[in-house]
Amino acid sequence: LLWVCPVQLLSDTIYKDLWNEEDEQKLGFCDWKCMMFVQSWPGSFCVFLGSRFNCTIPAFVNTWTIHGLWPNNVKNCCYCWYLFQSDLQDLESQLSLYWPSLINKTAFLFWKNEWQKHGTCAGCMETLSSPSKYFGTALKLHTFY
């Protein structure tokens, strides 16, 4: 679990391509000030779920996986901002590798749920204002952590 606060990240050189000074000024439009970058260890995640879901770890998964990028204290900000597979076309191979679904739903349904629940709330910030920007930012954070 990593707390990501855009104002703090503006001064950190490894994040310069994720946030910019305009974003700091636009945070006034957001109902959140920090985000949680959440990763899961697949084996522990499956143990935690118990028998509630059919948890399956793909053979290629041998490291931490992304579980989400969540603005703090907000959820389900916009039910009208849909995610389509074409929105993730350029990122799908990376998402499949680093952000797989470990339960009995397709990866796209998992990503769609994450977008609906958390991504639409992140969209108040220019650098996260589309599905490709939101998921791309999570993939970049995964390379650092």
In 3D, which of 133, 89, 137, 131 has the Cα closest to residue 112?
131
Does residue 67 have an active-site annotation?
yes
Structure tokens at 88: 């993730």
Averaged in consecutive runs of 10 residues, what is the pLDDT profile of the chain (145 residues)?
A: 49 51 58 89 85 83 93 89 96 95 87 95 91 96 89
Task: Please give the pLDDT value at position 68.
Answer: 93
Task: Please give the pLDDT value at position 91.
Answer: 98
DSSP letter (8 states) at residue 52: S
> For residue 38, which phi and psi values (nearest 5 degrees)?
-110, 125
Pick the catalytic residue from 24, 92, 118, 142: 118
Pick the catalytic residue from 24, 67, 92, 142: 67
Does residue 142 have an active-site annotation?
no
H or E element that contains 140 = helix 131-144
Task: Please give the pLDDT value at position 8.
Answer: 46
Task: Please give the pLDDT value at position 12.
Answer: 46
Structure tokens at 94: 């990376």
DSSP character string of 72-135 = TT-----TT----GGGGTTTHHHHHHHS---SSS-HHHHHHHHIIIIIHHHTTSGGGSSHHHHH
Structure tokens at 145: 């952590």
Q: What is the pTM of this model?
A: 0.80
Does residue 21 have an active-site annotation?
no
Task: Please give the pLDDT value at position 105.
Answer: 78
DSSP letter (8 states) at residue 13: G
